[in-house]
């Protein structure tokens, strides 16, 4: 198991956004040996949220050889303009882009762009196929109920051939895992929506589905994203972070977040990660909620060595 770092694109109230802040964070992650950097996407949220593709493009020159990615709202962004923007990021990163597709769980994101939230799953399946068609230069194209690539030759194409990897988010439902197996190049699981035993059960189902669609389960990658993190030996600070910050942000009970996220001592955090490693998680994307640069260092110095002694 290895580790990636989420870009700090949510304003938790402690600091203002700046390019200097993002660049320092990414340089630190690069120098500490994180394998990838990831920007999550929302248009509107309970906290200010920096635009994900813009933030990702801004840090490319600081990212070294790390993979760069975005979990992006394919429908809300629109598959054609989104494919155009992400192709540019792949080119400017010299082919290091991977993309996480998710329909999103916020009806407000759909409302403000005048798209019916109830159509999201049908649109989502088509949007994935649209982007693949545009990126690969498929001469036949894709035509569905909502979208069509007929007559569109979107240039320039990404450097990665036939396209950058498209990972698909699923919390582990049967329908979601079938979609991952059928349309995806990898599986994104959400840390605050799962537990190790649930992940293990979903991974077993996914492997069965991959065989049905002619894909090799042994080579199909997975990752755990949105692993919010604050490492501290101070129990009172642990409780403040859980009760005052994360519960409000994620709309989940404190006790649920306490058992799922990396908040607390290095030993507590390492124990959770070791359990995920044991059930087959290949990469975890951590997301420090404050003191981001220092938290990256603490993670590498005090947590990771306990997971991999």
Q: Find the mean pLDDT for residues 260-282.
A: 97
Q: How do residues 168-195 score in pLDDT, each as one tens digit?
A: 998 888 999 999 999 999 999 999 999 9
Q: How confident is the model at residue 145 (pLDDT cuts 50, 70, 90)?
A: very high
CA dihedral 297→298→304→309, nearest 10 degrees, is 110
Which region among 100-114, 199-213, 260-274 has the lowest average model confidence (pLDDT)? 100-114
pLDDT at position 13: 81
Whether residue 299 is predicted with pLDDT greater than 80 in this model: the reply is yes
- Give the Å distances, CA to CA, from 301 to 170, 296, 306, 309: 31, 9, 9, 12
Handedness of CA 87, 93, 94, 95 (dihedral sign): negative
pTM over 0.85: yes
Q: Find the mean pLDDT for residues 113-134.
A: 93
pLDDT at position 5: 98
pLDDT at position 138: 79
pLDDT at position 139: 74
Q: Find the mean pLDDT for residues 131-152.
A: 90
Q: Which two tokens stand for residue 221?
A: 């990658």
Q: Which two tokens stand for residue 149?
A: 């690539």
Run of H or E residues at 188: strand 186-190
pLDDT at position 104: 78
What domains can you pick out in the chain, each with its CATH number? Answer: 2-307 (3.20.20.30)
pLDDT at position 95: 97
**How much of the chain, in percent, has pLDDT values that exceed 70?**
99
Q: How do residues 252-269 score in pLDDT, each as one tens digit?
A: 999 999 999 999 999 999
Whether residue 70 is predicted with pLDDT greater than 80 in this model: the reply is yes
Whether residue 123 is predicted with pLDDT greater than 80 in this model: the reply is yes
Q: Quick one: which of 93, 71, 44 has its CA closest to 189?
A: 71
What SS3 string covers 203-215? HHHHHHHHHHCCC
């Amino acid at each position: 198991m290895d580790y990636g770092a989420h870009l700090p694109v949510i304003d938790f109230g402690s600091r203002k956004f700046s390019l200097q802040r993002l660049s320092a964070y990414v340089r630190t992650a690069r120098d500490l040996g994180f394998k990838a950097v990831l920007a999550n996407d929302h248009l509107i949220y309970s906290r200010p949220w920096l635009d994900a593709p813009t933030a990702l493009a801004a840090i490319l020159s600081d990212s070294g050889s790390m993979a760069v990615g975005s979990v992006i709202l394919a429908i809300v962004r629109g598959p054609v303009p989104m494919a155009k923007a992400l192709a540019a990021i792949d080119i400017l990163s010299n082919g290091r882009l991977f993309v996480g597709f998710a329909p999103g769980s916020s009806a407000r994101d759909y409302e403000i762009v005048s798209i019916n939230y109830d159509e999201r799953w049908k649109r989502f399946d088509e949007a994935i196929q649209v982007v693949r068609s545009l990126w690969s230069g498929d001469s036949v194209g894709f035509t569905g109920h909502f979208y069509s690539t007929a007559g569109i030759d979107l240039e320039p194409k990404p450097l990665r051939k036939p396209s950058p990897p498209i990972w698909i988010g699923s919390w582990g439902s049967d329908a979601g895992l079938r979609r991952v197996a059928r349309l995806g190049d990898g599986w994104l699981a959400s840390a605050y929506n799962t537990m190790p035993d649930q992940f293990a059960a979903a991974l077993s189902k996914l492997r069965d589905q991959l065989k049905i669609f002619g894909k090799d389960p042994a080579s199909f990658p997975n990752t755990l994203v949105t692993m919010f993190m604050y490492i501290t030996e101070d129990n009172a600070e642990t409780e403040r972070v859980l009760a005052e910050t994360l519960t409000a942000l994620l709309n989940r009970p404190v006790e649920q977040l306490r058992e799922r996220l990396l908040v607390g001592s290095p030993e507590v955090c390492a124990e959770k990660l070791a359990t995920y490693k044991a059930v087959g998680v290949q990469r975890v994307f951590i997301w420090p909620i404050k003191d981001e640069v220092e938290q990256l260092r603490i993670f590498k110095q005090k947590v990771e060595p306990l997971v991999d002694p």
